[in-house]
Homo-oligomer: A and B are copies of this chain.
Amino acid sequence: MPKVRLAMAQTNPVVGDISANLNECFDVVVAAAAQGANLVLFGEMNATGYPIEDLATRHAFVEAAEQAIDEFAQRLAANGLAQMHVIIGHPAIAPAQDQDHWAIAQNCASVIHGGKVVGRYAKHHLPNYSVFDEYRVFVPGNDLLSFEIEGVRCSVLICEDIWQDGGPVAQLENSGTELLLVLNGSPFEVGKQHIREELVLRIANRYKTAVAYVNLVGGQDDLVFDGNSMLVDSKGNFVQRLSGFKSEFKISNLDSADSVVSIDAGSQQESELSQVWQALVLGLGDYVNKNGFKSVVLGLSGGIDSAVCAALAVDALGSGRVFGVSLPSKYSSDHSKSDAFDLAERLKIEIRTEAIADIVDVAERQLGLDGLAAENLQARVRGVILMALSNAEGHLTLTTGNKTELAVGYSTIYGDSVGGYAPIKDVAKTLVWDLARWRNQQALGLGTTPPIPENSINKTPSAELRPGQVDQDSLPEYDQLDRMLELYIDERMSRRQIIDAGFDAETVDKVIGLVDRSEWKRRQGAIGPKITGMAFGRDRRMPITNRFRQP
C-alpha cells in the first residue's frame, strides 16, 4: 500500500448547478475509492462552476455553495467514505472584517475528511487582468493550509497563487511539503500548456515537492477549460498527464516527493490545430447544452467560415441537431449554393433554401436604398430569417464571423452578426483555413468523409453583397492583415512599432482605424470561445468613445 493514493479529477461543472456538480464529484469519489484512492483532488471552484463573476457578490449564492459543501461532506461519510480526503473548490463567505461593500466571498478549497470540512484555504492572489475580475468579486486569503496523510505533508494552493513569486509559494520552503495540491481554473489558450508545464516543473524543483495540478474541463460562456491536468515528482519527472478537453480522473501512488508512480496510462499531447479544434467543439457544445438548447441553426453561404462553424457544430452536437439554411441573393454565385449543399451532404445535416430576394426587393423599393445601405439590407434580411427560424423552431442561432472580420468591422451589425454564440469569434481568418484543412486531413486519416468542401477552402473570399465583390477589394491580403492585427491587438504594439515591423504606413493606418472604429459593433456581438492571448470581449476593454490617433 502506498501512503498516498491520489485521484486527480478534472470535472466539467455547470455554473450555478451546485447539486448536479456535486453529484458528479460524488460519483468520482466513489469510483476513486473503489480503486483504493485515499485522496481526491478536484479543480478550482468545481462545486459551483467557474468563473461565477458577480454571483460571488450575492449572499444567497455563496451561502448555498457553502451549505452544499457541508452536505457533500456528510453524504460522503454516510456512504462509507469518511476516511477519504477530498479537496474541492467553492466560494465561501469571507470573514466579516475583510468584506468590503462589494466583495463578500473568497475563492476557497476545502479539505473534507471524516464527514466534515477539516481545513479551508482561500486563494491569496486574485487575477484581475485579461478575462479575470477576481479582485472585484473576491477577498484575498492570508493563511496557508497543509495537512498530513500517513505522514506525507500535503499543501493546498489555488491557480494564480503558483503564478506569483512570493506569497504562499515562497512559504513552501521548509514547510516539509511533499505533495503540493493545486486547484486550477485555467482557460485554454494556444500554446499555454507549455507555459503551465514549465511553471509546475520549476516549483517542483525549487521546493522539492511533487505537484498535482488539476484543471477544470468545459465551456463556460466565452472560456474553455481544457483539463490537461498533470502530476510531476520532485525530480521533475512527468508522472501523469490527463487528457485535454475531457472529464476524467486518474490514479497515482505517492510515498514521498520523489517516489511517485502513475497507475493509469497517461494521455498524449496533441497538435496545436487539434487542440484548437477540440477547444472550439467543447466551447460550442457546452454553451448549447448547458443553456438547454436542443439544436442550432446557421446560414450556410458556401464560404469557409460557415463551413467550419457547421463542421464544429456537428462534431459538438451530432448531425441531427444542426440545421443549415442557404440564403441566396441575386448576387450569390452558383457555387455559393452548390458548396453549401455539398457541405450539408458531407455533414449529413438538414439544409433548406430561403432566398432573400422577395423581402429585399420590397424593402429596397419601399426605402429607395442603394450602395452600402442596400448591401447591409441583404445581410439584415438574412438575420431576420435566421432569427425567425430560431424563434419558430427553438434553435440557437450561430453567427459565423471570424476574428479578422470582427477586428476590422467587416460585418453587418444585426445582419450576419445575429446569434447567441459565435463559434469562431477568436479564430483569425488564416487559422480558419488551417483548421479546415486539418479537419479534412484528420477525416481522411480516420477513413471518413472530409467535412469541408475543397471549393469552400480554395475559393476567393467574398461577401457577395454586390456583383463581383471580393474581400480583398477593401482589405489587405489576409496573411498580411492577420499579422498586423496580431501585432496591434495581441501584442499591443503601437502604430510606429507595426510600421517598423515592415508594414507600410498607409495600410497600418487603415487597419488600426478600422479596428478602433468597430468597437461599438464588437460590444454588441455574441460571445464565443477565447483561444488566444487576447480575445475580443472582456479580455480587451476599450472605450467606444475614443479619439486617440497614434502618432
Question: What residues make up the interface of A, taking CB atoms closer than 8 Å to B?
Answer: 14-18, 20, 51-55, 57-61, 64, 100-103, 128-130, 133, 135-136, 219-221, 286-287, 290-291, 354, 358-359, 362-363, 366-367, 369, 371-373, 376-377, 380-381, 383-385, 387-389, 391-392, 413-414, 418, 420, 492, 494-496, 520, 523-527, 538, 540-551
CB distance from A45 to the nearest CB of B (A): 12
**Given A133-B133, A388-B363, A523-B527, A548 contacting B221 (CB threshold 8 A):** no
Cβ contacts A to B, 12 pairs, < 8 Å: A14-B545, A15-B545, A15-B548, A18-B548, A55-B546, A60-B496, A101-B129, A136-B541, A220-B543, A290-B547, A377-B384, A387-B413
Most chain B beta carbons < 10 A, residue from A219, A354, A387: A387
Smallest CB separation, A189 vs chain B (Å): 14
Residues of chain B lying within 8 A (CB to CB) of residue A291: 544-545
Q: What residue of chain B has the Cβ atom nearest to residue A18's Cβ?
A: B548
Q: Which listed residue (B381, B413, B542) contacts A53, Cβ 8 A?
A: B542
Known: A53-B541, A544-B221, A544-B291. A366 touches B359 (CB 8 A): yes
Residues of B within 8 A of A136 (CB): 128-129, 133, 135, 541
Quick check: A541 and B363 within 8 Å, CB to CB?
no
Contacts of A358 in B (CB 8 A): 362, 366
Instruction: Give Cα A18 to B550, complex, Å.
Output: 11
Judge whether A494 and B392 touch: CB under 8 Å: no
Q: CA–CA, A135 to B138, complex, Å?
A: 13
Shortest beta-carbon distance, A385 to chain B, in Å? 7
Complex CA distance for A383 and B377, rounded to whole angstroms: 11
Q: Which residues of B contact A391 (CB under 8 A)?
A: 369, 372-373, 376
Question: Could you tell me if B220 and A545 are in contact, using CB atoms closer than 8 angstroms?
Answer: yes
Cα of A241 to Cα of B100 in the assembled complex, Å? 31
B380 contacts A367, CB within 8 Å? no
A50 to chain B, nearest CB (A): 10
Chain B residues positioned under 8 Å from A219 (CB to CB) = 545
Would A359 and B369 count as touching, CB distance under 8 A? no
Residues of B within 8 A of A52 (CB): 543
CB distance from A534 to the nearest CB of B (A): 10
- How far is A500 from B418 in the complex, measured between Cα atoms in Å? 40
Closest to A363 in B: B359
Q: Shortest CB–CB separation between residue A130 and chain B, in angstroms?
A: 7
Set of chain B residues within 8 Å of A362, measured between Cβ atoms: 358-359, 362
A133, A377, A524: which has the most chain B beta carbons within 10 Å? Answer: A524
Within the complex, what minimum Cβ distance (angstroms) separates A139 from chain B? 12
**How far is B103's CA from A368's CA once the two chains are assembled, in angstroms?**
50
